[in-house]
Amino acid sequence: MGSQNKKYDVICIGQVVQDIMVTNIPENALTSGTDTVMAGQVLLASGGDAVNEAAMLAKLGNHSALLTRLDKRNVGDMIYGDLVREGVDTSLLTRPDDCKTFSTVVVVKQNGDHSFLIGPGENFMLKMSDIDLSVFEETRAVTAGSIYGLGELDTGGLAVIFEKAQKAGAITLADMNFDTLGLGPHAIDSVYPYTDYLMPSYDEAVYVTGEREPDKIADVFLAAGVKNVVLKMGEEGCFFKSAKKRFFTDPYKVNPVDTTGCGDNFVAAFLHCLLKGMEPEECAEFACGAGALNSQGIGAHLYVQSEDHIRQFMASAEKRELHRK
């Protein structure tokens, strides 16, 4: 569980982005020939896997710090203000003069699904030279949000960080992105032996492992050195497997408004429960509740307010029973 006397509960490593949320526009908005289309909402917010996880962990009562690069322009200042309002520790941020944080237009469709239009950035990837490795001796947990999106940390740096954190007694947890840079399915192999919890989506895991059955997917990661695999399966809940335990957790019945950040909320909620000493079954149940609740509002980390908010939702929401073995 990690020492209760560490400076940080969690250090979240990863990218930061400005999200420009646009909701309720028709599928043919760019092809209809009409030059003006009314949107439901347009919202500016901070985003990115590490930001979403850090903000949610803070809302759940943890001392979470964000370790990333952030620019010094108006975009960076807006995100910085967001982080402060959410209660995230910003002391580990690095803000180089040549860093330009990128913006993403998040188009939220009428069924709650989303598409990303990613703008350019410059020198926004964290480098090992930005990091004081001693901070990982002062935290109870470290998250990587997300591998395949961490630049030079993906190909060696993260393994060094996780090894350092594990030796200091911290939990190491990694989320995963799609391999947009074409690094290859085995590019992150060096990180797995130092990863306590790996939390890919089903599709991401299929790409890396070449397997399609949850058990076989998990077995590939376990054989590579991961201690616990948590497979995020969206509307089918999640699958957990370690050397000692194996189970599915059924999802909650919801009509999603916006699915942006639901996986990040899941990760943060799971880790929150780990830090409280809960068993994996309890962690997975709470994480599914957090992800489902997040889908009921706009934004990647704006809707869920607290642990009580999630517990109240779980007490009143129905679950889908999928009857899996």
168 CB neighbour count, 10 Å cutoff: 18
Tell me what pLDDT residue 258 has: 87
| Neighbouring C-alpha atoms within 13 Å toward the C-beta of 53 | 34
Which pLDDT does position 39 carry in this prediction? 87
The edge-to-edge listing of strands for the beta sheet with 103-108 is 42-47, 17-23, 103-108, 114-118
Q: What is the pLDDT of residue 289?
A: 98
Q: How far is it, in rounded angstroms, from Cα 256 to Cα 239? A: 21
- What pLDDT score does 79 carry? 96
Residue 166: name the closest of 133, 134, 142 by CA.
142
Tell me which residue of 120, 117, 77 sits closest to 102, measured CA to CA.
120
pLDDT at 34: 87
Cis peptide before 190 (omega within 30 of 0): no
Can you give the pTM of this predicted structure?
A: 0.94
Q: What pLDDT score does 3 carry?
A: 59
**Tens-digit pLDDT string for the chain (325 aa):** 445 789 999 999 998 999 999 988 887 887 888 888 888 889 999 999 999 999 999 999 999 999 999 999 999 999 999 999 999 999 999 999 999 999 999 888 777 777 888 888 999 999 999 999 999 999 999 999 999 999 999 999 999 999 999 999 999 999 999 999 999 999 999 999 999 999 999 999 999 999 999 999 999 999 999 999 999 999 899 999 999 999 999 999 999 988 889 999 999 999 999 999 999 999 999 999 999 999 999 999 999 999 999 999 999 999 998 878 7
**Sheet containing strand 8-14, strands side by side:** 64-67, 8-14, 139-147, 171-176, 197-199, 228-232, 238-242, 246-249
- pLDDT value of residue 90: 98
φ, ψ at 123 (rounded to 5°): 50, 40
Token digits for 174? 């990694």
User: Which amino acid makes up residue 305?
Assistant: Q
- Which residues have CB under 8 Å from 10's CB, separation 6+? 53, 54, 57, 62, 63, 64, 65, 139, 140, 141, 142, 143, 271, 275
Torsion of CA 285, 288, 290, 295, to 10 degrees: -160
Q: Bridge-partner residues for 252, per DSSP?
A: 319
The pair of three-digit structure tokens given for residue 152, joined into one six-digit string: 């030079």
Half-sphere exposure of 212 (CA within 13 A, CB side): 0
